[in-house]
Structure 1
Amino acid sequence: MIYDICVIGGGINGTGIARDAAGRGASVLLLEKDDLASGTSSASTKLIHGGLRYLEHYEFRLVRESLMERERLLGIAPHIAWPMRFVLPHHPGLRPRWLLRLGLFLYDHIGGRKLLPPTRSIDLRSDPAGTPLKPGFAHAFEYSDCWVDDARLVVLNARDAAARGAEIRTRCAVTGATREGDLWRIDSRAADGTEQTFQARTIVNAGGPWVVRMIDASHTPRSANIRLVRGSHIVTRRLFDHDRSYIFQNADGRIIFAIPYERDLTLIGTTDREHESPDVPAKATDEEIAYLCAAASEYFAKPITRDDVIWTYSGVRPLVDDGASAAQEATRDYVLKLDKDGGAPLLSIFGGKITTYRRLAEEAVEMLAPSLPVLKGASWTAGAALPGGDFALSERGALADRIAREHPFLSMDDIARIVATYGTCAFDWLGDARDRAALGEDFGGGLTEAEVRYLVRAEWARTADDVLWRRTKLGLRVDAHGVARLEGLMGRLVNEVMV
């Protein structure tokens, strides 16, 4: 078979492009060397936001586009994305109040905000948001942005792409790509060592940190370079009782977030550090952990120490190398480079942020359209719900109530997690179960055999880590004994799938 498009890379950009193209009638093959969202796309700060600090770098177009996408994503993924209010304390020694007020006025108005409430001023001496902070902070602004489960956003785009005809192959590494006339020959190797060759009319190089390496492997001249920037995060026990997040200014000009996370935890991040190579695993260094603890301790009354950190994660952002002197100043915008000089087109994706992935995908497919007459129709993804998201944001409570009625043995924490992970797709694995025993083996943390079987069958999960850290975050809940039992089940299920 000759595919219209071969997408290399199973992160947010690759799966978004696969979804858009498959929905316009193209035959699509997506190849990912590891698991979906196994790199950068599961290691973000989990926000759909315009990037308030980007206004200081005059990136008004990026902020405007991001804010417009923010509301679109709330519409198509109301289960894994939801509104969140952010408290920005005024630090007397840093940016003046008038500058913060001006920036937030622009933030409220340049993106066509409709669903989210506007900015307001709050008195931290009387508002509950001031309770966990040092007494020296008296005034703050509160504004709107949104939360998203980044890894699930990737998986749901892949699921929708597959439902529209795309072929998704995980753990299938590209070992070479050669132009043969008007076609690409793509050589690959599966995890079991099996080698296979594919043909495609075009390649989309969405390799993230490996994007330049793919260009070199295809013997195509580079038209841009990337800058690898590592962002690290720490997770602690919950530091405050309300459901708002904080955005803190630092003396070095950076900002960090402190966000309610996984019901009883707090997520703090992120850093900006140069990263030497995509082949070096991203890991929070002692210096980065200390930086985040110190930055948060500038604001919280109770200091954050290394002993408070229960988990860390890091990702490598493949930013466009724009010559910025500091990692924090490098643009988060994306650049698409189309090379057709050698025959079959190669489209390479540089940079980008999770908030604008859908618009990036739309633009990428439109760039390929002149080379692929098979692509039909106008852009369509802005209003098409992702799997499980076929309900309005205001109906989240009603969906939770329905699950509670039909499955009364589930706890409120179970139901909240299930709604925020699967939306209406929850019924695909809950079925008609009337007690927990009907869901099979229990691994702890609310994870059962029925859910695991569903993730293997419908979402390409192949290892315990796929289930515990990307399809869910139950790795924070399941103990070592549960992990061992899960690994045993995964081995059996994957063998069944492969037969």
Structure 2
Amino acid sequence: MAEVSALSDRRFTSSDKLLAEMRSGESLDWDIIIIGGGITGAGILREAVRRGYRALLLEQGDFSSGTSSRSSKMVHGGLRYLAAGDLKLTKESLTERERLLAEAPGLVDRINFYFALSKGLFPGRWAMAVILTIYDFIAGIYDHRYHNNRRLGERFPGLEQGHLNGAASYSDAMVDDSRLVMRVLQESIEAGGTAINYSKVSQLLVEEGQVQGVMLNDSDGSEDIRLRAAAVINATGAWADRLRNQVNAEKRIRPLRGSHLIISRELMPVTDVLTSLHPDDKRGVYVYPWEGTTVIGTTDLDHSEDLDIEASINKAEVDYLLRAFNAQFPKQTISRTDIISSWAGVRPVIGSESSKDPSKERRDHAVWSDNGLITVSGGKLTTFRLIALDALNAALPQLPKAKPFSDDRVFITPGLTPEDLVADDPIWAQRLLGRYGTQAKVMLDSAPEAERQRIAGTDFCLAECRWAARHEAVAHLDDLLLRRTRLGMVMVHGAMELLPALEAICTSELGWNQDHWHLEVQRYLSIWKRFYSLPEDNDRT
């Protein structure tokens, strides 16, 4: 097992540089190759390098470009799983929620949830009180309460209360899921791991019936690159069956789509999460704050479309979410013209039966071992660390002995406080520390003064864009606007007004000339219009 570096100033490896090394015969042998650059793959890389393994993560698109940038942004214990009797999943989720809150303040933040209690429907006030008592007991906190309609109306002005019997409140947490992936990857790289995006595995390398590595597509070379590894872990989420089917024909993944709408905070200024039952099917629908906007979500539908095409909301889902909102806030009704953007993600659920209501499918994860290939899929964002450990444990028989280690933290932010970063704005400083760790100070110090100011109407600044372009493996403009930051989602018209400033950043940091810049703008606008705007623009019904 090779020694790994612990240099604290390591950055993401240029895929061009690493591929050049591979073509020349270097970097071809690894202890572990992880396929998939979402939160599960990032978690596996983090745990692998902690144990001293020489580990490589390969992502065919951009980091977090699949499910892990398109979740509902909630780090939660799964209250409905507890109501369904799944104590194990709830306990694991609550334990991990509290861990993330402690380790990544500013990235994972506690928020109050208000569950509106509908008259004559389950759960009623007392049933909800019992459920939340157990929920808080497992989490080791006590913060649930009952609120009558008057207090609920004060918290959510304009809420239709005729059908309600107050609400029960409790706490869970919110996150920027894509930044969580980047933070875990950065911790992994600083500990000696390697992760490259836009690097597609064309097939598994199978010798004598056992998976011995992967064939990496080399778009600039004459043939694919053969990479060998003691263990190959398939962490491709909704795509897991496709890779696993090279060694096992079984189909286990049921892709489910969840879609969301973003509206201006001025239209519905909420600071807490409201959960209410949809008037049509009684499914829970959320209205909640995120990145300076208000989000309405989510749907839960079978996703039968091509997984290689990004998921997007359809017209029926837009109508469903608008009806949910307008039924709860009849005096503040919104329409399509009020929507800033949308997003849809595909959840990799371990399917039990296709006829089962998607919302009733369990959210457990599963790990399979097939002829040397370890596949992991399913599960929840909140429990990514436990999922990663299960996958890594399944690979241990194929690996050399791990080095001893005692520090099991995922996030490390030593020696910095918000006051060290931005003395007059500790809340914003904590946000930056949560997303960038100790690098937050370097990021701000290395940017021009004008770029350190928040972009109007958002909590982002251009210094983050410059840092991402310089250090976070940005290959395309959509990487920058839809994942490293969320400016393309929270600003009207996909943040078109920022393009002049971003052109200057990308020209200096990425070396793009004017022709390249125009191609990137065309690519970004095409992606935004098709997958992040309204269905009228993406031709989906």
TM-score by length of 1: 0.86
Q: Hey, what's the Cα distance between the residues in 2 that align with 1:129 and 1:192?
A: 57
1:34 aligns to what SS in structure 2? coil
Match of 2:310 in 1: 281
The residue type paired with residue 310 of structure 1 is I
- The correspondence for 1:204, drawn from 233, 258, 280, is 233
Match of 1:422 in 2: 436
- The correspondence for 2:101, drawn from 74, 78, 84, is 74
Identity among equivalent positions (%) equals: 32
CA contact (8 A) 2:44 2:392 kept: yes
Match of 1:459 in 2: 472
Q: How far apart are 1:184 and its partner, in Å?
A: 1.8
1:470 is aligned to 2:498 = no
RMSD: 2.9
Alignment of 1:68-467 (within 5 A): 68-95=95-122, 96-109=124-137, 111-114=138-141, 117-127=142-152, 128-136=154-162, 137-181=164-208, 184-190=212-218, 195-216=224-245, 219-223=246-250, 225-238=252-265, 239-251=267-279, 252-263=281-292, 265-276=293-304, 277-301=306-330, 302-323=332-353, 325-339=356-370, 342=371, 345-377=372-404, 380-381=407-408, 383-386=409-412, 389-390=413-414, 399=418, 401-405=419-423, 418-419=432-433, 421-431=435-445, 435-436=449-450, 450-467=463-480
Distance 1:300 1:452, change over 3 A: same
2:296 aligns to what SS in structure 1? strand
1:494 is aligned to 2:510 = yes
CA contact (8 A) 2:204 2:211 kept: no
CA contact (8 A) 1:119 1:143 kept: yes
Structure 1 unaligned residues grouped into runs of 5+: none
Segment drifting more, 478-487 vs 235-244: 478-487
Q: How far apart are 1:94 and its partner, in Å?
A: 2.0
Q: Hey, what's the Cα distance between the residues in 1 that align with 2:400 and 2:341?
A: 49
Deviation string for 1:174-196 (max 9, x for gaps)?
Answer: 11112225662311125656742
Q: Hey, what's the Cα distance between the residues in 2 that align with 1:446 and 1:308?
A: 21
Distance 1:192 1:300, change over 3 A: farther
Q: Hey, what's the Cα distance between the residues in 2 that align with 1:487 and 1:226?
A: 41
2:402 aligns to what SS in structure 1? coil
Match of 2:537 in 1: none
Deviation string for 1:147-202 (max 9, x for gaps)?
Answer: 11100111111111111211111100011112225662311125656742211111
Distance 1:390 1:241, change over 3 A: farther
The residue type paired with residue 474 of structure 1 is L
Q: How far apart are 1:347 and its partner, in Å?
A: 0.7
Q: Hey, what's the Cα distance between the residues in 2 that align with 1:291 and 1:81?
A: 29
Segment drifting more, 246-255 vs 60-69: 246-255
Q: Hey, what's the Cα distance between the residues in 2 that align with 1:297 and 1:145?
A: 25
2:118 aligns to what SS in structure 1? coil
CA contact (8 A) 2:98 2:139 kept: no
Structure 2 unaligned residues grouped into runs of 5+: 1-27, 513-541
2:106 aligns to what SS in structure 1? coil
Distance 1:80 1:193, change over 3 A: farther
CA contact (8 A) 1:443 1:483 kept: no
Q: How far apart are 1:135 and its partner, in Å?
A: 3.6
Q: Hey, what's the Cα distance between the residues in 1 that align with 2:201 and 2:393?
A: 25
Q: Hey, what's the Cα distance between the residues in 2 that align with 1:177 and 1:77?
A: 36
The residue type paired with residue 73 of structure 2 is K
Distance 1:435 1:489, change over 3 A: closer
Q: Hey, what's the Cα distance between the residues in 2 that align with 1:244 and 1:235?
A: 15
CA contact (8 A) 1:42 1:470 kept: yes
Q: Hey, what's the Cα distance between the residues in 1 that align with 2:443 and 2:252?
A: 44
Q: Hey, what's the Cα distance between the residues in 2 that align with 1:449 and 1:193?
A: 36
1:5 aligns to what SS in structure 2? strand
Distance 1:240 1:433, change over 3 A: same
